[in-house]
Chains A and B, each alone.
Chain A
Amino acid sequence: MTQVTIERSAEIETEEPTEPLKVVRVRHWGRWAVSAVIILLIAQFLWSLVANEKYGWGTFGEYFFSDAVLDGLLMTLWLTVISIVGGFIIGTVLAVFRLSSSTLLNAVAWWYIWFFRSVPILVQVLVWYNLGYLYPRLGLGTPFTDDFWIFSFPTTSLLTAFAAVAIGLTLHQAAYSAEIIRGGIVSVDAGQTHAAAALGLPRRVRFFRIILPQAARSILPAGFNEIVGQVKGTSVAFIVALPELFYSVQVIYGRNQQIIPLLLVAVVWYAIITTVLSVVQYYVERRFSRGTVDLPPTPIYRAKKQITDLWHRLGEEDGKASPAVTSQTDTVTSYTDKESV
């Protein structure tokens, strides 16, 4: 002990401990109280789910796996896949245009993104579906005229409801994806491009093997956000009466008036999709984090560790009973003479 400490707290802390000092953690009584209230509220809510017959779980059960709902679900997934895959492909091209040194390409991409971020998706789908209102015939003819056609066909027969929604969602998604991908590419250190160029790597290799995998780390979280959003975003298909999940559910409650149970059917399916996507996201992100020193442990591992830690800590606070504790106190007490007690 130095003199400084003696001066600072002479009475208590300089006393030689007569036995191993016990460490008492700060008790967070407030936290415990709040936690108890929250648990109570959650329990109450869960109970109401069961006890409140307005939730109509019987109706829920009847429709959850009904053909109409499953067909709708399939339509939703199909639209999501098309628009996300198509959107990210077009988006990648747009992002590359945006980063290109060509003023024209840059401007084209900028205006594309501006346009499709400005137009509500609902309006876009409606316009695609009714393209015949604006352009009654499409085909090949003399430019800037509409009376001479080499061949043409009526527009109304061109775009089905499905095509209108798929095109609308894809073009819409492309604008958002482009910005996400551009953000990812910009976040990659410029030195990477220099190094790849210095090695003489072809442009394609440079982009797909070097830049994109690194950009993916910042693209993925935002990208999965888009996918999850798009699953629900496909419900704009109602405007052209395309039976995706949400529309199918609406049609059913139009008949039987069981609004809440059928909305729950949709909600639970959306929750299932989101859950699956979240798990996929977690592992895909881990895959692209390769090369960073410490991969965070998986949630399963973390949960296991938290439980074991809690178990040990509870034992420790209690005193001597747990062997894990004795070994810890050993290191503390090794400086004092146990026999002197």
Chain B
Amino acid sequence: MTIIDSNRPDPVDDAAPTVGKVEISHLTKYYGANRVLDDVSLTVEPGEVVSIVGPSGSGKSTLLRTINHLETFDAGSVTVDGRYIGYERRGDTLHELREAEVLKRRAQVGLVFQNFNLFPNLTARENITIAPVSLKRLSQVEADQRAMALLQRVGLHDSEKYPAQLSGGQQQRVAIARALALDPKVLLFDEPTSALDPELVAEVLDVIRDLATVGTTLIIVTHEIGFAREVSDRVVFVEDGRIIEIGPPEQVLRNPINPRTRDFIGRVL
């Protein structure tokens, strides 16, 4: 396992963010006999924007989902600001936590899905308010106000539409607003534009680009190489459940050191 981890740039903002540090160390996961994550280690600093690229089935999405404990793992550890999401450490073993505790801790990490996964029976506004209200973070009135503000931020105005009445790009923007409603320290994107018609990709990327400038830690699994190059502080190339190369976008996406990275970049560009 080689981790090429030079030249980690300083965060962009002047007032450097202090929360949202993700530490993944020696993470291994099996699906049956198949090893989908193989001793993966990665540290993402507060406010950093990291893109994960790699061929389909390379384990990118699985890696992303272990961060908020939607996927469990077999060995290693994942912490956000030094805390485990789904486990409690006693000595050398990790004990799985009860669901209620996991849910509480998970709320500090937002996740945006490839297929949006908005709740079709709720309006855009209700999609955004359901988490903060049911987790007792905000009253319904406060949550409504916040939902309006968030919708505005992602460029939407009609809060009472149902998901099916929105275009794919609009749905994904609502999904982002929904993830933001809990003020997550870290925001994860799982191929956020893959399910969109080409002409709708830009509007979603614009929103993510905005987020990248305000200091939330972002980890983005994406096929949009150009976009990754533009917004990322660092790019991670994953293949066969392993991190092959990691570094600034200019390096990984333009002048990869590893031949396999070069091979992949050559194919997608």
Contacts and interface: CB of A to CB of B under 8 A. Distances in A.
Contact of B106 (A200, A203, A293): A200
Interface string B82-113: 00000000000000000110011011001101
A271 B118 CA distance: 41
Contact of A293 (B111, B113, B131, B164): B164
13 contacts: A191-B117, A192-B117, A195-B117, A198-B68, A198-B110, A199-B179, A201-B130, A201-B134, A202-B134, A210-B121, A290-B162, A291-B120, A292-B164
A86 interface: no
A191 B115 contact: yes
Given A198-B68, A200-B104, A202-B100, A290 B130 contact: no
Contacts of A214: 119-121
Query: Does more than half of chain A's interface fall in helix, strand or loop, or is it mixed?
Result: helix
Interface of B: 68, 70, 99-100, 103-104, 106-107, 110-111, 113, 115, 117-122, 130-131, 134-135, 162-165, 178-179, 182
Contact of A203 (B99, B104, B162): B99
Given A214-B120, A291-B163, A195 B130 contact: no
A199 B121 contact: no
Interface in A12-50: none
Contact of B113 (A195, A202, A291): A195
Interface in A177-205: 189, 191-192, 194-203, 205
Contacts of B163: 291
Nearest to B175: A195
Task: Kindly list the 5 A-B residue pairs having the minimum CB-CB distance in the complex, ordered from nearest.
Answer: A195-B117, A200-B107, A291-B162, A191-B117, A198-B111
Contacts of B164: 291-293
Interface string A130-156: 000000000000000000000000000
A246 to B, nearest CB: 39
A302 interface: no
Contacts of B182: 199-200
- Of A189, A195, A202, the most chain B CB neighbours within 10 A belong to A195
Contacts of A209: 119, 122, 130, 134
Contact of B121 (A195, A197, A291): A291
Given A200-B104, A213-B121, A292-B164, A194 B131 contact: no
A69 to B, nearest CB: 42
A214 B120 CA distance: 8
Contacts of A205: 130, 134
A192 B121 CA distance: 11
A77 B107 CA distance: 47
B120 A195 contact: no
B134 A210 contact: no
Given A203-B99, A214-B121, A291-B164, A198 B115 contact: no
A293 B165 contact: yes
Contact of B119 (A192, A198, A200): A192
- Of B100, B117, B122, the most chain A CB neighbours within 10 A belong to B117
Contacts of A195: 113, 117-119
Given A205-B130, A291-B122, A293-B164, A191 B113 contact: yes
Nearest to B118: A195
A189 B111 CA distance: 17
A215 to B, nearest CB: 10
Contacts of B165: 293
A236 to B, nearest CB: 37
Contacts of B179: 198-199
B55 to A, nearest CB: 23
A200 B135 contact: yes
Contacts of B134: 201-202, 205, 209
Given A191-B113, A203-B99, A292-B164, A197 B119 contact: no
Contacts of A203: 99
B165 to A, nearest CB: 6
Given A203-B99, A293-B164, A198 B121 contact: no
Given A198-B70, A199-B131, A200-B106, 14 more contacts: A189-B117, A191-B113, A191-B115, A196-B119, A197-B70, A198-B68, A198-B111, A199-B179, A202-B134, A205-B130, A210-B119, A290-B121, A291-B163, A292-B164
Contacts of A202: 100, 103, 134-135
Contacts of B117: 189, 191-192, 194-195
Nearest to B135: A200
Nearest to A196: B119
A196 to B, nearest CB: 8
